[in-house]
Chain A
Amino acid sequence: MRTRVNPGRVVAWACLIVLMLLTLFPFYWMIRTALSNNTQLAGHPGSLLPVETTLGAFKRVLGLSTVAEAQAQGGSGASVNFWLYLRNSLVVATVTTVCQVFFSAMAAYAFARLRWPGRDKVFALFLAALMVPPIFTTLPNFVLIKNLGLLNSFAGIILPSAFMTPFAIFFLRQFFLGISRELEEAAMIDGAGHRRIFFGMIIPMSAAPITTLAILTYINSWNDYFWPLLVGQQEQVRVLTVALGIFRSQTPQGSPDWAGLMAATLIAALPMILLFLAFARRITNSIGFSGIK
């Protein structure tokens, strides 16, 4: 086929570029606003560049400016403990990811590589849990966590998702199924037990899908709002998403600290944006999998 400039292709490219700009613009606007001086923002709402470029909003959010400075720039002056929330998000997302991926991998091994009576039925039961909408289990889980005295603790936030998700098990099982049995047999003849096979063979051979799953789990956990909102309201365990919601409701209704708010959202989103930049190929390629198997 000859490649030639055909009008259809030009229009199609134009559409795609417009859609990509539409996708990226809010990110740009977040940066533009975060770098602006909040008191001047209202005067130049349409300016495509930051208004009176300053790092004031970031300083304000990170608690690096005094109350007087913050108020002068249109901030509320209320202290925002961003480093603490950042740490909390790190703790929650990291522990959740490590535990969930590891335990799910163990379960996936049992479902993919071991033979035992009732295996497929148990697996079907695990999968069926995907059907239950989260809110339905969230209410009783809240009661349970409350009764266990774990409200406002990291354990309370992490526990429900620490052991497994049906999706994680399903995802890893698919990959474990594909590993050839001969290798396993050979290892067994050499005297390897299941523990050695699991840690020494299956896990290293599945490093790629395990990494992908870990990244997806990390992003989900970092972005989660509902559960930490219910269980982790208190400051010492408050994660970034919950903090952002509170920050938003605390900003004065008349002239909100938009620059500060955007600086805060940017800082909250930045780790995930960086993670995505580092693993873009892996993440985008995994999307098709979750649907098409």
Chain B
Amino acid sequence: MTTTTSTPDGVRPKRRRYGDLKVAMIFLAPATLGFVVFYIWPTLRGAYLSFTEYSLLSAPEFNGLDNYDRMLHDSFFWNALLVTVEYVVINIGLQTVLAVGIAMLMYRLTQSITVRAVILAPYLVANVVVALVWYWMLDFQIGIVNQGLTWIGIDPVAFFGDSHWAIPTVAGINVWRHMGYTALLVFAGLQTIPKYVYEAAEVDGASEMKTFWRITLPLLRPVMVMVLVVTMIGSFQIFDTVAVTTQGGPVNATRVIYYYIYERAFTRFDFGYASAMAMVLFAILAIVSLLQLRLLRAKESDLS
């Protein structure tokens, strides 16, 4: 940042400093209002509500750690966590591999904006729309995917109806929606790797694969960490697709934590308990991102 503030006399900077505070308060007023009312206050209130019993009808009643204790014995909660983790693992695994693959392909083959735009297109369509289109395409009876499977001699799969397939299906749909976005992030990262590194590798006669594993991937680490943190935080919060397609079924197979919280809060008005679960989700996400940042030493690049 430039710091060439001209100071014709000794008094002015101080006066300006004070003057700026007043101006700054005016410029910040609307954003601060929104920030305090819709971010800070609800964060504190959410923490408080997690220690209460609250049905939205009467005032919240403080009940200490009851909600958390209840959670320990709530098999639906544990199931929801388990299902969510399964979703996150499949989603992130598949998405990361595909995104890196697409990014490498684009990096080596083309700078075309059209290609990038096509790859990004699903990301710009609402989750609800994506869910509905795939719900139709994966229909057991007349969906095109099962038609294709039949053509090549595979029995149709009840993608949403079979409890083993439901979560991988939901995960796959979201991979389809997000892989282009992630690929573009990785692509941007690839472009920051200086050419001379590759030239040196070529001179040394390193193979294509070796170059990828030994040079590209390690140099991509800061970007990969960012991508992993962002996609992990995002995928823990899977809701729309489940809400539109399976609504938690079949038999809890897709009742992910976000959906369970939603059900508790808005169909059973168990607001305190829902807040407590949201609090646990918050804690999990905080730990996950801290761990990722630490394990992968996010701030350092192997270049420096």
Contact = CB atoms under 8 A, between A and B. Distances in A.
Interface stretch (B65-73, B88-96, B162-170, B178-186): B178-186
Interface in A9-24: 9, 12-13, 15-16, 19-20, 22-24
B31 A143 contact: no
Given A45-B144, A245-B243, A134 B237 contact: yes
Interface residues of A, number: 97
Interface in B34-80: 34-35, 37-43, 45-46, 49, 56
A287 B186 CA distance: 10
A265 B20 contact: no
Given A26-B176, A45-B142, A291-B189, A129 B184 contact: no
B118 A223 contact: no
The winner among A116, A117, A119, A182 for most chain B CB atoms within 10 A is: A116
Contacts of A164: 30-31, 34-35
Interface stretch (A70-78, A106-114, A206-214): A106-114
B144 A115 contact: no
8 contacts: A129-B43, A142-B265, A143-B271, A144-B42, A194-B23, A225-B128, A284-B184, A288-B185
A91 interface: no
Given A136-B43, A141-B42, 14 more contacts: A13-B109, A20-B115, A29-B137, A46-B144, A106-B28, A117-B17, A119-B24, A139-B271, A161-B38, A163-B38, A181-B5, A194-B27, A265-B133, A276-B121
B227 A269 contact: no
Contacts of A289: 188
A152 interface: no
Contacts of B292: none
Contact of A109 (B27, B38, B108, B223): B27
Interface of B: 1-2, 4-6, 16-17, 20-21, 23-24, 27-28, 30-35, 37-43, 45-46, 49, 56, 98, 101-102, 105-106, 108-110, 113-122, 124-130, 132-137, 139, 141-144, 147-148, 151, 176, 180-181, 184-185, 187-189, 191-192, 208, 223, 226-227, 230, 233, 236-237, 239-240, 243-244, 258, 261-262, 265-266, 271, 274-275, 278-279, 281-282, 285-286, 289
A52 interface: no
Main secondary structure of the interface of B (DSSP, over half): helix
B126 A268 contact: yes
B120 A272 contact: no
Nearest to B257: A135
